[in-house]
């Protein structure tokens, strides 16, 4: 199910999880292109 359908169903939690996953993949792709390996977000604190 795509994000727009989830939003239409007012399943905002699932929609936000899909969007967060997509954003994380974009960041990892950019990092890989620059030669940076991202293993996990362990050790990072987000405020």
pLDDT tens-place string over residues 1-47: 799 999 999 999 999 999 999 998 898 889 889 888 777 666 555 44
Within-domain flag for 43: no
* Cα 2 to chain centroid, rounded: 14
pTM: 0.70
* pLDDT at residue number 14: 96
pLDDT at residue 42 in the model: 62
Is residue 24 one of the residues assigned to a domain? yes
List the domain range (segments joined by +) for residue 21: 3-33
Q: What is the number of domains present in the chain?
A: 1
Judge whether 11 lies within some domain. yes
Identify which of 2, 43, 47 has the alpha carbon closest to the alpha carbon of residue 22. Answer: 2
CB of 5 closer than 8 Å to CB of 12: no
Are residues 28 and 38 in contact, defined by beta-carbon separation less than 8 angstroms? yes
Residue the block writes with tokens 């977000």: 41
> Is residue 19 in some structural domain?
yes
């Amino acid at each position: 199910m795509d994000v727009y359908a989830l939003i239409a169903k007012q399943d905002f939690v699932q929609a936000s999880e899909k969007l967060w996953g997509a954003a994380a993949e974009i960041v990892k792709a950019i990092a890989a292109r620059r030669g940076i390996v991202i293993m996990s977000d362990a050790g990072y604190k987000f405020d």
